[in-house]
């Protein structure tokens, strides 16, 4: 999914538990952690504006959004445009 400016990421948990939503570069380096810790069951919405954890703008390109829970990991490819 290509996007300019910001990405709106949504995930849902069937039950409460630990979850981490992070953005990774294609070389596997974690760029940004959007959410980490115990999450309630239900839908969660996060926005990534193309910045790393230090607030610096990232370069346009391909990134991966990765949701990791206590027993599963999900990934989705993102194409960031400026």
Q: Domains of the chain by range and CATH?
A: 2-81 (2.60.40.4070)
Condensed to tens digits (0 to 9), the pLDDT of residues 18-31 reads: 999 999 999 999 99
Confidence class of residue 3 from pLDDT cuts 50, 70 and 90?
Answer: low
**Residue entry with tokens 């990134």:** 63
Dist. CA 44–CA 46, nearest whole Å: 7
Confidence class of residue 4 from pLDDT cuts 50, 70 and 90?
Answer: low
Give φ, ψ of 35 to 5 degrees: -155, 135
Q: Is the pLDDT of residue 34 over 70?
A: yes
The residue among 51 and 5 whose pLDDT is bigger is: 51
């Amino acid at each position: 999914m290509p996007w300019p400016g910001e990405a709106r990421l949504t995930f849902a948990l069937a039950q409460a538990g630990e979850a981490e939503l992070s953005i990774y570069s294609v070389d596997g380096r974690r760029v940004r952690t959007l959410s980490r810790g115990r999450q309630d069951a239900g839908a969660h919405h996060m926005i990534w504006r193309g910045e790393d954890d230090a607030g610096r703008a990232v370069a346009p390109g391909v990134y991966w959004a990765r949701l990791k829970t206590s027993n599963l990991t999900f990934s989705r490819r993102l194409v960031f445009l400026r």
